[in-house]
Amino acid sequence: MSQPNNKPGKENPRISKKTLLYGGYSVLTIIVVLALVILINVGITALDNKFNLKLDLTDSRLYTITDQTVKVVEGLKDDVYIYTLYVTGNENSVVQEIANRYKAMSSHVHAENVDPNKNPTFLKDFQTGSTTLSAGSIIVSNAAKTRFTVIKPNDLYTYDDKGNVTSINVEAKLTSGIMYVTKEDIAKVYMITGHGEPTSNDETGPALMTILQNNNYDVSWLDLNTFDGTLQPKDIILMIYPT
């Protein structure tokens, strides 16, 4: 009867092959699992970038979009552009997150950050005599850039008497801006000057103008001594306690 060859120092070829086979399966399994994990992460990231699937877990529901905004954005028929103006590396994470949520709700909404230091010529299309563009501002514009509104950094927040932030107005301002640039018929409001009324240099005038603009009125100052245009039947004229 032949005896098995179990001499010291000599491996059993059958055991060696099994070890290699099982080892190969283990390595292959690890590779497959890692590939699946990578694919899943890539897929989730792609979906999140497109549909913004992040949950709002903040105590104050900071990123939760109201039903009114959803109705406005989902009803868009024309493209709207949201340009945030932040220096690269100093972006406002709250503003960026909310802007991305608008973008995820409709293919008509485009949101991107423009570095004002790197792209100074970009601002020329939105610079008017009464508009000041600075880092931290937000531009909401139609595709042709023929109608736009500029949201200043201080307009994004409400402050108390001590200068502490009491509320964030990003959504309200963005939605109001979208309605302004997409509305076909915008009521014009003229604030009369030249009779001692509040002007752009007074506190009351700009405050009232801001309120009206936030409610989607096209507001401008009007001096009857120099006005050479034509008023339309739907135009609104405000003469505030003239002296």
pLDDT for 102-152, tens place per residue? 999 999 999 999 999 998 888 888 876 656 688 899 999 999 998 888 888
The DSSP secondary-structure symbol of 239 reads -
Between 89 and 160, whose confidence is greater? Answer: 89
Say if CB 99 and CB 82 are below 8 A apart: yes
Among residues 50, 47, 112, 51, the alpha carbon closest in space to that of 84 is found at 112
Amino acid symbol at 83? Y
Side-chain-side CA neighbours of 116 within 13 Å: the count stands at: 19
Q: 10 Å Cβ neighbour count for 100?
A: 18
**H/E run at residue 45:** helix 13-51
d(CA 3, CA 9): 17
165 and 212 Cβ atoms separated by less than 8 Å: no
The pLDDT, as a whole number, for residue 188 is 84
Structure tokens at 198: 């509040």
User: Is the model's pLDDT at 75 over the cut of 60?
Assistant: yes
